[in-house]
């Protein structure tokens, strides 16, 4: 039987807070605060098995801002950054609590809509995104106008895995640009 005990206690609060900060930095875009590409991949990895198990549909919306490069090149990166922050806020305001919006980089954003019933549900959200971005954005004293080109693909209809569905949403986005911008197109 032991006669004595020695207890060593250490406060690891600071270490845990530092780990949480590092995790947040690794998974979020520094400019907009939105989840980044890595967080998007992790979220898809969670959602797709659940969608398969429950036979749910899931929509991926790939969003690219029209004429962003012109704004960024002519008015400067500070104006472009302010525009991206406002777009991130507006995108976050049109989604449901269960949806997911991420910034991939540059002027590319992705919205995941889990548990949709029909592709028309994704079209409704795409219409809301277009409407929300149709009003001007004030940045650094400039009144800016941008619009989204949105490509939509549906899991499992448009691909068996996240990578394929993302690629197909990207392809559909280029069709939206070719169709005159400021619209959405479904992958076919």
d(CA 107, CA 116): 26
Distance CA 188, CA 135 (A): 30
Structure tokens at 159: 């691909």
Residue 152: burial class (beta carbons within 10 Å; 0-12, 13-18, 19+): buried
The single residue listed with the structure tokens 């990166």 is 77
- Phi, psi angles (nearest 5°) of residue 55: 60, 45
Q: With helix as H, strand as E and coil as C, how does 119-132 read?
A: HHHHHHHHHHHHHH
Known active-site residue 158: no
Tell me how far apart the alpha carbons of residues 104 and 34 are, in angstroms, rounded to a whole number.
Answer: 9
Which member of 107, 157, 158, 170 is catalytic?
107
How many residues are recorded in the chain? Answer: 188
Q: Which residues contact 188 (CB under 8 A, 6 or more apart)?
A: 172
Residues annotated as catalytic are 107
């Amino acid at each position: 039987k032991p006669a004595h005990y020695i207890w060593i206690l250490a406060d690891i609060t600071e270490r845990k807070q530092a780990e949480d900060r590092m995790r947040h930095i690794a998974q979020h875009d520094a400019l907009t605060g939105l989840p980044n590409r890595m967080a998007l991949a992790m979220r898809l990895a969670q959602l797709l098995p659940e969608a398969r198990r429950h036979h749910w549909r899931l929509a991926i919306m790939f969003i690219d801002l029209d004429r962003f490069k012109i704004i960024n090149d002519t008015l400067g990166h500070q104006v472009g950054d302010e525009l991206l922050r406002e777009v991130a806020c507006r995108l976050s305001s049109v989604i449901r609590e269960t949806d997911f919006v991420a910034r991939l980089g540059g002027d590319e954003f992705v919205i995941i809509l889990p548990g949709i019933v029909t592709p028309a549900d994704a079209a409704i959200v795409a219409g809301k995104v277009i409407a929300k971005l149709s009003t001007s954005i004030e940045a650094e004293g400039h009144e800016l106008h941008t619009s989204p080109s949105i490509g939509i693909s549906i899991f499992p209809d448009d691909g068996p895995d996240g990578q394929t569905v993302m690629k197909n949403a990207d392809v559909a986005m280029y069709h939206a640009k070719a169709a005159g911008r400021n619209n959405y197109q479904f992958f076919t």
